[in-house]
Amino acid sequence: MDIKNKIIDEIKKIYDPELPVNIYELGLIYDIKVNGSKAEIKMTLTTPNCPVAESLPKEVKEGAMQVEGIEDVNLELVWDPPWNKDMMSDAAKLELNL
């Protein structure tokens, strides 16, 4: 398994505090790039007023740092494109009865 997939597996362990779905399946992770021992992650939140706006990005960064071979993580919180329900995976939509 490559490092990017290992990072995804770690991110899938992080759940939205209000929904029974992990943030990867919710579509909050827009991009993951790995260059050597550095990971670059672009993510968003469901809304800018999200109650976990400070803690969730930190959890993602810490999760990525758990992956063997990753020594640095640059996490960018982005708002464009804005998150919407269409970004959720089919599994997340099924879990939420959408």
Residue 23 domain-assigned (yes or no): yes
Which domain does 74 fall in, by range? 3-81
Residue 67 domain-assigned (yes or no): yes
Cβ neighbours for 32, distance < 8 A, ≥ 6 positions apart: 4, 7, 8, 39, 40, 41, 42
Model confidence band, residue 74 (pLDDT cutoffs 50, 70, 90): very high
Output the domain CATH number for residue 47. 3.30.300.130
pLDDT in tens, 9-64: 999 999 988 888 999 999 999 999 999 999 999 999 988 887 777 889 999 999 99
Alpha helices in 39-98 (DSSP H): 55-65, 90-95
Q: For the chain, percent helix, then strand, then coil, each to nearest 5?
A: 30, 20, 50
Domains identified in the chain, total number: 1
Residue 12 domain-assigned (yes or no): yes
Model confidence band, residue 80 (pLDDT cutoffs 50, 70, 90): very high
Q: What is the pLDDT of residue 52?
A: 79
Enter the pTM of the model. Answer: 0.91
- Rounded CA-CA distance 84/87 in Å is 6
